[in-house]
Amino acid sequence: MDQIRKTFDKWAQNGRAELMEIEHGKNVSKFLESMPFDKPFTFLDVGCGNGWVVKKISKNDNCKKAIGIDKSKKMIEQASKKTNKIKEEFIHTDIESWKYRGKFDFVFSMESLYYADSIEIALQKIYKLLKPGGQLFCGTDFYTDNKATARWAGIMKIQMHLHSKKEWRQLFFNAGFEVKTKHVKDLKNRKKWKREFGTLFITGTKPEK
């Protein structure tokens, strides 16, 4: 079995999915609060883990549909518990091979895209899944500029593509997106990198034409 799927199947069963929710929750919530969810929208979370972001977003009255996909079957089993089936859907698939006919207003992905075999292919796929004017919000704590997290790849022992902010911008640009970046810091956190660098969010907007 694919090493990434195997690792996250384990995480889904040993409590680390909930830990990720706690660990990522504050900065993701801060970022999402500043997002334009003021009109009816559809939402996709790529690498949704236990589904906490989909469950949060689906509570927004303007959210018409929120889908979470993950290549770990066990994560999807967890996410599918206590789900609001009218708005939410969880699907076991990787982004690269997912066959889906619809298009989304927003795609979100937290700490997931750098595990893709090819970030380039994953970004091309997401681009196609967005409506013109649609946006991809990609959060990462693992980036070269943030030296404290760069060692994670050695600890995890699975494929993790490490890029700098500049390289992330270029990857988004090459896929056709207009690009913006933002650091969301947690100034009171005991971890120095969370105070000084924080989570890097790369926003890609698909041009209208």
Ligand X SMILES: C[S@@+](CC[C@H](N)C(=O)[O-])C[C@H]1O[C@@H](n2cnc3c(N)ncnc32)[C@H](O)[C@@H]1O
Contacts with ligand X by CB under 6 A lie at: 4, 8, 20-21, 24, 46-49, 69-72, 75, 94-96, 110-112, 115-116
Residue closer to ligand X by CB (options 49, 134) is: 49
Q: How far is CA 55 from CA 26, 59, 83, in A?
A: 15, 7, 7
Residue closer to ligand X by CB (options 21, 77) is: 21
What tokens does 56 get?
Answer: 């949060």
Q: Judge whether 11 and 33 are in contact, CB under 8 Å.
A: no
Dist CA 198 CA 30 (whole Å): 12
Dist CA 5 CA 26 (whole Å): 26
Residue closer to ligand X by CB (options 34, 97) is: 97
Residue closer to ligand X by CB (options 42, 50) is: 50
Least Å distance, CB 1 to ligand X, is 12
Least Å distance, CB 27 to ligand X, is 10
Tell me the pairing of strands 41-46 and 178-184. Answer: unpaired
Q: How far is CA 56 from CA 23, 48, 52, 68, in A?
A: 16, 12, 6, 12
Least Å distance, CB 63 to ligand X, is 18
Residue closer to ligand X by CB (options 49, 198) is: 49
Least Å distance, CB 104 to ligand X, is 15
Residue closer to ligand X by CB (options 68, 178) is: 68
Tell me the pairing of strands 104-110 and 199-205. Answer: unpaired
Least Å distance, CB 88 to ligand X, is 15
- For residue 154, count other CB atoms closer than 10 A to its CB: 8
Q: Which residue has the tokens 């990462």?
A: 140
Q: Which residue has the tokens 């972001």?
A: 53
Least Å distance, CB 14 to ligand X, is 13
Beta bridge partners of 43: 66, 106
Q: Judge whether 121 and 98 are in contact, CB under 8 Å.
A: no
